[in-house]
Amino acid sequence: MDKINFKLKRNLFLLGMVILLFSLSFKIPEINKDLGLKILAINGKEVFKNEDPENYYSFNFRSASSMDVYLGEKVINLKDIKDLKEIISNEQIVLFIRSKDVKRNNNLVEILDDMHLVWHSNKYTLYTNKKGE
């Protein structure tokens, strides 16, 4: 009888833990919105909210393909500073970039000085060169 009670208590405890973890998983985005790319995409869309979207770019961004899903637009990932310089001089863009890349790369900081900081978190930064921002 003791073995049955122990197994029943253990199984109920494990079931309770599974239910708790399942219900908490729905609260994580509310608790820390900086975890995901969704908030970054929302802020990126705000830049061109009343216009047809221009071009969305990211720099050295592994999650660029995931951003496509949140934005509903293609995100072009750049890995070369020269390409970034050329695009900024020729197009109005929204640029998604990791905050640590901004801190580590002085050449990148020089390029970003001419752009407008739209949004920033510990993990991601959003810039645009759109006129009027």
CA-to-CA distance for 14 and 125, rounded, in angstroms?
41
Domain membership flag for residue 2 = yes
**Within this chain, do residues 16 and 46 fall inside the same structural domain, yes or no?**
no
List Cβ neighbours of 32 (8 Å cut-off, separation of 6 or more): none
pLDDT tens, residue by residue, 111-130: 999 899 999 888 889 999 87
**Within this chain, do residues 111 and 122 fall inside the same structural domain, yes or no?**
yes
What's the mean pLDDT when you consider all of the chain? 85
CA-to-CA distance for 101 and 79, rounded, in angstroms?
11
Domain membership flag for residue 13 = yes
Domain membership flag for residue 133 = no
Predicted TM-score (pTM) of the model is 0.70
Which residue segment(s) compose the domain that 110 sits in?
A: 33-128
pLDDT at 44: 87
